C-alpha cells in the first residue's frame, strides 16, 4: 500500500501519476499530484480538468471543470 492509501498507484517514467479508480486506469496528474498524498488533499489536473480528493484513505474523483490560468499569470 503506497502512502497508506487504499488506492493502487503507480508512476510512469515520464513522472506522470496514475491510479486504479473503479477498475479503470485514471490519470492523476504530474506536478499537481500531492507528495505524499494525505487525508483531505485536493488537486486539479491541468491536462484533463479532473478534480480529485483523498477521502477515507482513497483517491476519489470529485468533479471535472476546465483548468484556467489567471490572466495576470500568462
Whether the predicted model's global pTM rises above the 0.75 cut? yes
| Adjacency order of strands within the sheet including 58-64 | 42-44, 50-55, 58-64
- Per DSSP, the three-state class of 73 is helix
Q: Is 73 inside a domain boundary?
A: no
The DSSP secondary-structure symbol of 67 reads -
pLDDT truncated to tens, each residue of the chain (74 aa)?
568 899 999 999 999 999 999 999 999 999 999 999 999 999 999 999 999 999 999 999 999 999 888 788 76
Q: Structurally, how many domains does the chain consist of?
A: 1
- The C-alpha R_g of the chain, in whole angstroms, comes to 13
Domain span at 60: 2-68
Q: Is 74 inside a domain boundary?
A: no
Q: How far apart (Å, rounded) are the C-alpha atoms in residues 69 and 57?
A: 30
Q: Is 7 inside a domain boundary?
A: yes
Amino acid at each position: 500500500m503506497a502512502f497508506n492509501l487504499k488506492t493502487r498507484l503507480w508512476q510512469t517514467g515520464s513522472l506522470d501519476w496514475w491510479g486504479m479508480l473503479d477498475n479503470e486506469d485514471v490519470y492523476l496528474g504530474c506536478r499537481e499530484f500531492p507528495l505524499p498524498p494525505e487525508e483531505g488533499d485536493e488537486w486539479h489536473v491541468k491536462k484533463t480538468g479532473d478534480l480529485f480528493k483523498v477521502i477515507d484513505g482513497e483517491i476519489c474523483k470529485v468533479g471535472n471543470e476546465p483548468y484556467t490560468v489567471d490572466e495576470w499569470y500568462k
